[in-house]
Copies of this chain bind each other. A is one copy, B any other.
């Protein structure tokens, strides 16, 4: 399932980076060859299975990570256990709150993910020296802020039906289409429980709204987790 490359650890130059699909994306795209070579000495490529916790709320941050593949779920919980997903991260996002000693969220692998883990001091040292890198990190923060605010509208003002449509639309526009399926079809990276925590609804309501969208022909359901969208514009109309 997972392709292991022998050549990675036998070389001085960051071969890993050369063959890395994120080389010119995310934070690595802001680095010069030299900087990349220096940074690569302290990075590790890591795989996590769906469900594994990557970072706990209010816990010290040991490292950052560049998301190479998969989806990360960021969430918060109230004392009594009520949970809210506050963000999703896709490749090539940087995982970890910059310049904080503690995480403000819990990060969990929503799907199987590949990460390029960067020790906290290594990235922060580089951040202080590379303005382009800091700029890119800021641009990501600003984009996440825009997304968070968009989602606040969904949480605060949309109906359950619109929330579910908005979620599916979000995923449809962020996920690669699955190979084996026709045109616009994708795997949901989140369980119904996760979706409900993202939307501020119950699993039952999410399930009912998905069934309804299916009944209305807006979406097709292949495999519970696999959704097809014949007409994205039609789905968009349901978003309110």
Number of A residues near B (Cβ < 8 Å) is 41
Chain A window 196-214, contacts with chain B (Cβ cutoff 8 Å), 1 for yes, 0 for no: 0101100000000000000
| Contact between chains at A148 and B138 (CB < 8 Å) | no
Q: Is A188 an interface residue (CB 8 A)?
A: no
| Contact between chains at A141 and B151 (CB < 8 Å) | no
Q: Is A144 an interface residue (CB 8 A)?
A: yes
| Contact between chains at B152 and A152 (CB < 8 Å) | yes
For the complex, what is the distance from the CA of A149 to the CA of B45, rounded to whole Å? 29
Choice from B104, B135, B142 contacting A149 with Cβ under 8 Å: B104
- For A153, the closest partner residue in chain B by CB is B84
Chain A window 208-234, contacts with chain B (Cβ cutoff 8 Å), 1 for yes, 0 for no: 000000000000000000000000000
Sample (29) of A-B pairs whose CB atoms are under 8 Å apart: A76-B150, A76-B152, A76-B153, A78-B153, A78-B157, A83-B157, A84-B156, A84-B157, A86-B149, A86-B152, A98-B138, A99-B142, A100-B142, A131-B131, A134-B138, A137-B138, A138-B138, A138-B141, A141-B145, A144-B145, A145-B145, A145-B148, A148-B149, A148-B152, A151-B152, A152-B152, A152-B155, A156-B197, A156-B200
